Amino acid sequence: MACSKVSKSSLILLSLISFCLLAFIGCTSGKESTPSAKQNLPNAGSGTKKPDREIICRKAPSAIEVDGIIENTWQAAETMRLDDSADIPDPNRVKIYTLWDENYLYVAYEVTDRYLVGFQTERDHKALYKDDMIEVLLDPRRDATDLWLEDDIVYHVNILGQVKDDRGSPEGRSDATWQSDASFAVIYDGTLNDSTDLDQGFSVELAVPWSEIGKKPMPGETLGINFAAGDAEGADEHLWDWCGARPFRQPSVYGVLELE
Ligand SMILES: [Ca+2]
Ligand SMILES: [Ca+2]
Ligand SMILES: [Ca+2]
Ligand SMILES: [Ca+2]
């Protein structure tokens, strides 16, 4: 009887020791793995938190012709506003459309702008952002870093249909010598660089190949994204964006585009 009592207590004691030991090992390894997984990427992991901004990108019901004209097919898109909130007379009003198909991510901008201004006709010109223009910024991997990494792409398109396209690098440097395979087209309604009359505005269409984005498009797929626009009013040009990124090449605060 005594013998059996001792072995029962020993068994209970052994189980308790094993349990504590396992729990201790579990805690220790957990403490070690979390920071080491994150330490190489600034602000890594933000991509997993629920984004503040989301846009649904519907599938294009038919082909989009990239000619600057917002055709009927675009009416299938979920749209959003990116109006200028600057305290100026007649600030620009901006409406953004997105669609996708097997080959391209499509983005269109419809801009109401009373004074049309544009000068840069050279690709990748440093001053292109000073013209009336739009920007689309992508973080395809959604690693949501503060650095502009090799997956990250920005397309600036000015009112003349000229482009400044940059891609990031593993060191976080933006490289304007990188050239996109995307198609761009702009049309405007008004008189360019003439402030003596009032203009109507301009519209922009972009088709970005999925091969450039590096993703296979399918419903539920997501990208980190930001949209921006710029208005040149004489010397008083200014820019604004969807996500409040400063600089705009800051994927850590980007919203999410989800393919439907
Ligand atoms: Ca079109
Ligand atoms: Ca303008
Ligand atoms: Ca990225
Ligand atoms: Ca370029």
Q: What is the CATH number of the domain that holds 205?
A: 2.60.40.1190
Domain total of the chain: 2
pLDDT of residue 52: 87
| Burial class (CB within 10 angstroms; exposed 0-12, middle 13-18, buried 19+) of 163 | buried
Ligand 4: distance of its center to the CA of 166 in Å?
A: 5
Give the pTM. Answer: 0.81
**Segments of the chain with pLDDT less than 50:** 1-6, 11-14, 16-47
Residue 128 covered by a domain: yes
Closest to 260 (Cα-Cα) out of 103, 55, 56: 56
Q: How far is the CA of 186 from the centre of ligand 1 (A)?
A: 9
Within this chain, do residues 124 and 227 fall inside the same structural domain, yes or no?
A: yes
- Report how far ligand 2's centroid is from the alpha carbon of 132 (Å): 5
Ligand 2 centroid, distance to 141 Cα (angstroms): 34
At 233 the pLDDT is 80
Q: Quick one: 24 and 93 in the same domain?
A: no
Which tokens go with 167?
């891609």
User: pLDDT at position 21, please?
Assistant: 41
Burial 8-21 (b: 16+ CB within 10 A, else e): eeeeeeeeeeeeee
Same domain, 67 and 118: yes
- Gap from CA of 231 to ligand 1 centroid (Å): 23
161: CA distance to ligand 1 center in Å?
14
Question: Does a structural domain hold residue 157?
Answer: yes
Residue 38 within a domain: no
CB 128 within 8 A of CB 232: no
Which ligand gives the minimal distance to the CA of 69?
Answer: 1
241 and 209 within one domain:
yes
How high is the pLDDT of residue 23?
Answer: 40
Q: φ, ψ for residue 24 (rounded to 5)?
A: -65, -45
152: CA distance to ligand 2 center in Å? 28
Structural domain including 1 reads 1-29
Q: Do 71 and 169 fall into the same domain? A: yes
Asked if residue 13 belongs to a domain, the reply is: yes
Could you give the CA distance from residue 201 to residue 92 in angstroms, rounded to a whole number? Answer: 9
Ligand showing the shortest atom-to-Cα distance for residue 41 = 3
Q: Are residues 71 and 184 in the same domain?
A: yes
pLDDT value at residue 87: 87
